[in-house]
Amino acid sequence: MITGEIFALELLQNLNINKDECEVVTKESKDASETVYKIKGKSKIILRDDNTETSRIVTAAHEVGHFINNRKSILKFLTFKWSGRILIGLVILELFLILMDFFYKHSTAMIYLIVVLCFLLSFWCNFVKLRDEYGANREALKLLYRYSDRIFLKHNDNRNWKSIRKEAKEQLWKGQKKYQGANYLLPIVSIAPFLVYIAILFLILMFS
């Protein structure tokens, strides 16, 4: 039976993507598998704790799906890449303005503006990340449907698309639901400095 790494390599070969454009590696780690996409240079698909389980085959297809989607739309990739960085930058600015306000007391209006921007941007970031995951899942199912039978047969693996279809769909759906379940964290993080700021002001008023 083949591993997820071999399956990913076979998918890339079937898609006529050579090793100079994308490589597949396995690293033992508790982190999730990931795709490090490079617009110029070699991209890397990193699979964690790889083995012959069907779940690893599906994960491999999902990561190849990320690579294919990034390759198809550089604009979407850049949007995904920079959305989080812009949000982090604004949160840092929010924190800086809050600290400045404690000392100079003249940046309150700017704080409110940045807080609103951070809060709204967090929802946009969530949308971008969910779109990326959904696109990778959709591409993974296409890849499994088109190539899994051929790859399994080549490696004398008794599995086929029909036998793994249900498990693949369930795994990808559960992964996306888990991703959606964490959506509330980003808006909270985006305004966390402001919430601390309000709490401190409240305590100052109480004990003054």
- What is the spatial distance between Cα 188 and Cα 184, in angstroms, rounded to a whole number? 7
Q: Would you state the pLDDT for residue 49?
A: 81
- What is the spatial distance between Cα 133 and Cα 205, in angstroms, rounded to a whole number? 45
Q: Would you state the pLDDT for residue 106?
A: 65
Q: Would you state the pLDDT for residue 186?
A: 80
Q: In sequence order, which residues have a C-beta less than 8 Å from that of residue 203 and are 6 or more positions away?
A: none
Q: Would you state the pLDDT for residue 100?
A: 80
Q: Would you state the pLDDT for residue 105?
A: 67
Q: Would you state the pLDDT for residue 98?
A: 83
- What is the spatial distance between Cα 113 and Cα 117, in angstroms, rounded to a whole number? 6
- What is the spatial distance between Cα 189 and Cα 59, in angstroms, rounded to a whole number? 29
Q: Dmax over Cα atoms in the chain, in whole Å? A: 77
* pTM given for the model: 0.86
Contact indicator for 45, 69 with CB cutoff of 8 Å: no
Strand partners, 25: 46
- Give the C-alpha distances (Å, rounded to integers) separating 77 from 52, 73, 88, 172, 181: 30, 6, 18, 21, 23
Contacts 24+ apart (CB under 8 A), 149-155: 150/14, 151/2, 151/7, 151/10, 151/11, 151/14, 152/2, 154/10, 155/1, 155/2, 155/6, 155/10
Successive 10-residue mean pLDDT values, the chain, 208 residues: 94 94 90 91 92 94 96 92 89 84 73 87 90 94 96 95 95 86 79 83 78
Q: In sequence order, which residues have a C-beta less than 8 Å from that of residue 72 and are 6 or more positions away?
A: none
Q: Would you state the pLDDT for residue 193?
A: 84
Q: Would you state the pLDDT for residue 101?
A: 77
Question: What amino acid occupies position 151?
Answer: I
Q: In sequence order, which residues have a C-beta less than 8 Å from that of residue 61 and are 6 or more positions away?
A: 7, 8, 11, 140, 141, 143, 144, 148, 168
Neighbour order of strands in the sheet with 22-27 = 22-27, 43-48, 34-36
